[in-house]
Structure 1
Amino acid sequence: MQLTPLNPSDHDAVGEVLGLLHAVRDADAPEGPRLVEQSFRAGLRQERPGLDVVHFAATDGGAVVGYLGIGLMVDDNPHLAMAELMVHPDHRHRGHGRALLAHYTEYAAARGRTDLTAGTLTTWGDGPRRPEAGVDFLERNDFTLALVNVRRRARTDALAPDDERRLWDEAVAASAADYEVRTWTGPAPDDLIESICRLDAQSRDEIPLGDIQMDAEQVDVARARAKEAATAAVHQVPVKAAAVHRATGEVAAITDVHAYEDPAATHASQGITIADPAHRGHRLGMLVKLANLRRLRERFPRVEEIWTENADVNDHMIAINTELGYEAVDALSVYQRRLRP
């Protein structure tokens, strides 16, 4: 097996990797969202703030048999690395996975990373069965379970109109006196960006991360605008809603959904939803998610379903999502291996 960096300009080579990724999805998790080719190709070229990313293609006998994507945290949390490893279903049980994992370990260790993470899809509850080979593989190679993120999906019309109206009225009744709802598509308004940075920096302290050690991100306006530019460069469109505290003008809660520019993409991805701890108890999470759902339907009527992930212990957000019609599909189990420095 040969492992070489994936050249974003090599259209055919990228196409072969895309074929592998589709084959893995169809074999292991056919219910999951389909990869959007336009965004994947653009993502191979795009730099990401706070993350150094490299992609490799594995070939054997002229055929692409594996893919390895590595992300190294930079600036904040320089101890941490993450990887996505995939082997074509027709080429498994031949040692390719071990070779990919060995390259990941060597690459990350040579660059000073001591905490390596990798995820695998696992069965959740009564959802569709997922192969157990990924868990067995990671555990055999000294990785231990660090975090379980449950993947859920909801149709954009999951709620009956009367139920949606009731939830909206309840959220407005709990918040309207002190908070205003703002929605937008694309870059954040200039008058909100600084307080959005403050909330963004809080997110790693507020969201369960299991056994993964991750310090808060240092987010300023330049970093936030760079993130927005990177999102636009990979042909994704953020749809956002915020609850703004009337007395101070500060963003008290925010949520975002990423839709795709590709007109064939009928799904979107839910990003972070966070409420400032000082403003909790006003149903702001429900308020901004409902407002954002309405904007998404108006701006992207072709989007039929939204996918989200929540840590299995994030009871508050899971309860909100359940009210909004999200149903569990499977879980992304994140495993971690700590190397000796």
Structure 2
Amino acid sequence: MQLTPLNPSDHDGVGAVLGLVNAVRNADAPEGPGIVEQSFRAGLRQERPGLDIVHFAATEDGTLVGYLGIGLMVGDNPHLAMAELMVHPDHRHRGHGRAMLDHYTEYASSRGRTDLTAGTLTTWGDGPRRPEAGVAFLERNDFTLALVNVRRRARTDALAPEDEQRLWAEARAASEADYDLRTWTGPAPDDLIESICRLDAKSRTEIPLGDIEMEAEAVDVARARAKEAATAAVHQVPVKAAAVHRATGEVAAITDVHAFEDPAAVHASQGITIADPAHRGHRLGMLVKLANLRRLREQFPRVAEIWTENADVNDRMVAINTALGYEAVDALSVYQRRLRP
């Protein structure tokens, strides 16, 4: 087997990898969100702030058998690496996965990374069965479970109108005395961007990350705008809602959903929802998520369902999502290997 860097400008080569990714999805998790080709292709080309990404195609005798994507954290958290590793269902159990994992380990460690992560989809509760081979493979190669993110989905019309109105009235009653609601599509308003940076920096320390050690991200306006540009470059449109503390003008809570530009895409992806700890107790999480759901329906009526991930121990956000009609599908179990310095 040979591993060669994938040229994002190679239309046919990227198309072959897209075919492999779809084959893996169809075999292992067909209930999951579909791959949007336009965004997939753009994502292989696009640089991401704070992340150095490289892609490899694995071939044997001229046949594509696997894909390996490696991301190295740069600037913040330079000890951390992450990988996405896939073997075509028709070419498994031939040592290709181990060869790609060894390449990942060598690539990351030679660049100073000591904490290596990789994920595999696993069964959650009574949800659809997922292959157990991924867990066995990672554990066999000295990776240990570090974090479980449960994947959930909800239809945009999951709530009966009267139930949605009740939740909305309760959230407004708990917040309207002290907070204003702002919604927008695309880049953040200039008058909120600095406050959004402050809250964004808290996300890595406020959201459960299990045994993965991450420091707060250094986020300034330039970095925030670079993130927005990267989102636009992969043909995704952020739909956002924020609760703004009236007395200080600070953003107290924010949420975002990413819709796809592709008119055939009928799903969207939920991003991070975070409330400043100093402002909890006012139902701001429910408020911004409901407001954003309503804006998403207005801006993208074709979107029928939203996918989200939450750590299995994030009880507060799981409760909000359950009330909004989200149902668990499966879990992304993140494994970690810590290398000795």
Does TM-score exceed 0.5, indicating one fold? Answer: yes
How far residue 24 of structure 1 moved from its aligned partner, in angstroms, is 0.2
How far residue 205 of structure 1 moved from its aligned partner, in angstroms, is 1.1
Q: Which residue of 2 is the match for residue 294 of structure 1? A: 294
Q: Which residue of 2 is the match for residue 97 of structure 1? A: 97
Q: Deviations over 1:128-152 (max 9, x none)?
A: 0000000000000000000000000
Task: Give matches, 1:201-216, under 5 Å.
Answer: 201-216=201-216
Q: How many residues align?
A: 341
Task: Give matches, 1:164-175, under 5 Å.
Answer: 164-175=164-175
2:99 is aligned with what amino acid? A
Q: Which residue of 2 is the match for residue 41 of structure 1? A: 41
Q: Deviations over 1:273-312 (max 9, x none)?
A: 0001111100000000000000000000000000000000
Q: Which residue of 2 is the match for residue 142 of structure 1? A: 142
Distance, in Å, in 1 between the alignment partners of 2:189 and 2:4 is: 42
1:239 is aligned with what amino acid? V
How far residue 45 of structure 1 moved from its aligned partner, in angstroms, is 1.1
Q: Secondary structure at the match of 1:272?
A: coil
Q: Secondary structure at the match of 2:271?
A: strand
- Answer yes or no: is 1:236 the counterpart of 2:236: yes
Q: Which residue of 1 is the match for residue 261 of structure 2? A: 261
Distance, in Å, in 2 between the alignment partners of 1:239 and 1:133 is: 37
1:232 is aligned with what amino acid? A
Q: Deviations over 1:185-230 (max 9, x none)?
A: 0000000000000000011111000000000000000000000000
How far residue 8 of structure 1 moved from its aligned partner, in angstroms, is 0.9
1:121 is aligned with what amino acid? L
Q: Which residue of 2 is the match for residue 70 of structure 1? A: 70
Q: Secondary structure at the match of 2:273?
A: strand
Runs of 4+ in 1 over 3 A off after TM superposition: none
Q: Which residue of 2 is the match for residue 273 of structure 1? A: 273
How far residue 63 of structure 1 moved from its aligned partner, in angstroms, is 1.2
Q: Secondary structure at the match of 2:259?
A: strand
Q: Which residue of 1 is the match for residue 252 of structure 2? A: 252
Unpaired stretches in structure 1, ≥5 consecutive residues: none
1:271 is aligned with what amino acid? G
Distance, in Å, in 2 between the alignment partners of 1:260 and 1:226 is: 19
Distance, in Å, in 1 between the alignment partners of 2:106 and 2:278 is: 44
Identity across the alignment (%): 89
Instruction: Using structure 2 for the length normalisation, give the TM-score.
Output: 1.00
Instruction: Using structure 1 for the length normalisation, give the TM-score.
Output: 1.00
Q: Secondary structure at the match of 2:120?
A: strand
- Answer yes or no: is 1:120 the counterpart of 2:151: no
Task: Give matches, 1:3-14, under 5 Å.
Answer: 3-14=3-14
Distance, in Å, in 2 between the alignment partners of 1:197 and 1:9 is: 33
Distance, in Å, in 2 between the alignment partners of 1:61 and 1:160 is: 55
Distance, in Å, in 1 between the alignment partners of 2:212 and 2:246 is: 36
Q: Which residue of 2 is the match for residue 337 of structure 1? A: 337
How far residue 44 of structure 1 moved from its aligned partner, in angstroms, is 1.1
Distance, in Å, in 1 between the alignment partners of 2:103 and 2:65 is: 15
2:171 is aligned with what amino acid? A
Q: Deviations over 1:96-149 (max 9, x none)?
A: 000000000000011000000000000000000000000000000000000000
Q: Which residue of 2 is the match for residue 106 of structure 1? A: 106
Distance, in Å, in 1 between the alignment partners of 2:172 and 2:338 is: 46
How far residue 39 of structure 1 moved from its aligned partner, in angstroms, is 0.6
Cα RMSD (Å): 0.4
Q: Secondary structure at the match of 2:263?
A: coil
Distance, in Å, in 1 between the alignment partners of 2:160 and 2:27 is: 34
